[in-house]
A and B are shown apart, each in its own frame.
Chain A
Amino acid sequence: MRVTFWGTRGSIASPGPLTQGYGGNTSCVQVSADDGTCLILDAGTGIRALGDALPQDVARIDILLGHLHMDHIQGLGFFGPIFAPGREIHVWGPPSATLDLRGRLSRYLSPPLFPVRLRDVESRLELHNAPAEPTRIGAFEVTAATIIHPGPTVGYRISENGASMAYLSDHEPALGVDGFPVAPAWTSGHDLAAGVDVLVHDGQYSEAERQARIGWGHSSTVEAAAFARQAGAKRLICFHHDPSHDDEAVDRLVEAATAVAAGVLVSGAREGVSLQV
């Protein structure tokens, strides 16, 4: 599988000269297979450029939303294929006990927040709850599970031919825990990340910032490294960079994670970078 980062930033887009290295667009990651299967993890502002770059002959597009905070759906209305007549697009998102996915997305994709209503797009758009059981989408097996973050939120594990990656973009597994990490059975997201080749994980904060923002739903890069180490992930890619962090700040946070990663290869997600898993 090939993993390409189109948006790596958390919370709000933060373009500018100081963030050019890691990028300013919000969460969007493409996962593609040799047979043309195209998964898109989250629809932050990075999805606009991805939509422009996608070949017309991609028969089906699956967008897997981790949750519905704005930085993960804001690009949906600017994703060109969604307006292409007849284009087959499936959007998956976390289930809610109160409102279906269409109803929740329509809160944004409707006036006055957006000029076009979701029901008026011309693609063949199908909306689904994130699968409760492992599900095949083209070449990939996709597993979704609820993880700790405010509001309904899922993480994803994607596997193909023995390769695997996990995507936990917004995740606070250390919430309420003394001495994180605790036992795997009591660690949010552990099963999704267990033994993966690549773990894309929330690394929004420094340790000091994290202490001031407990309950906001995010992790420090050091916590992300501890989580990756316990899960046995081979590689950790710190993701969802804080909008206030310039490239030098992200470099320092990646270094802090590397110092405690104990064998896990650590890097920071960079917009425009693609890797083969």
Chain B
Amino acid sequence: MHIPDGYLGPQTYAPAFAVMGGFWAIASVRLKRALRLRQVPLLALGAAFSFVIMMFNVPIPGGTTGHAVGAVLVAIVLGPWAASIAVSLALILQALLFGDGGITAIGANCLNMGVVMPFVGWGVYRLVAGASPAHSARQWLGAAAGGYVGLNAAALSTAIMFGLQPMLARDAAGRALYCPFGLHIAVPVMALEHLLVFGWVEAAATGLVVAYLQRAAPEMLPYAASQQARFSRRAVVTRLAIGLGVLVLLTPLGLYLPNALRAGSAWGEWGSEEIREEVARETGGQGYVPAGLERAEKAGWKAPLPDYALPGQASASLGKLSFSYILSGAIGVAGLVLLTLATRRAWARKDEGGTAGLDAHSGQT
């Protein structure tokens, strides 16, 4: 997933550097506060390890091999902030000394593989593994899930960077200056590759190594239960809540953007009226609604909040619709949270037998 020079224009790679600069500054400050002196040699070695991981060929079913990135693995062992620095260092070295990845693209690559991947992957790992003890299956399951989701998140951000190029940079004759494939090509292609193939490689690599560490060196998993967890559960929950709240408030974007860009509904998500319009557009004439579709619509489930709006609001102003959107979002999130809590309570009763009795293995790093 290393982006070479020439694929991204300065409109993209320069801001990427700016963002990374800020990020590195924050990460260094955080690390200095939390770990004091110890991080310098450990980071350098973590970075070297990260580099080498990218060279291991992981066998996948089908007889071929693939490469892993390993950012989530490093995040599980060192924490996401340290991992972002370690992976950034590895990427910088790869670009400078081995031509793996472009020099102008260093900022962008670090953003994708050094920020998006470890943070998203680590978040998923924490969600799945939670406070489970070091020997629990949830540890390696969480690691594998984190690897898969993290890599795909990075693939998505990379694809977005590619896909934006034709929009951002054209020459006088309107031809694309850098990557010429728009979002509608870049995103599906990269998503398919990584959802179907590379994601599994990453999941395998991350999950298997964590499984090995569970047996051979459980003290290297600092987020397993009974460690002095650097992130208290309350802090995690608060952050999640804030994040969710912000996202809910942002949902009206789904109304404004399509309006501004004059886009229709998502492909395939048409109601009967929209089908009629689509057909009219394609074939000329009045258009029609397929009989079966009409029947299904009449007989089917009537949602309480159709299209996330209050009933009767189908043609209300954008402002009012926005409010309904937010309300729907809040109701949806609340419903999911309750459902998850209920499920977790049922599950926790089975799993948490093993937390008592583990020594505190903190201290060495």
B and A form one assembly: no
Interface residues of A (CB under 8 A from B): none
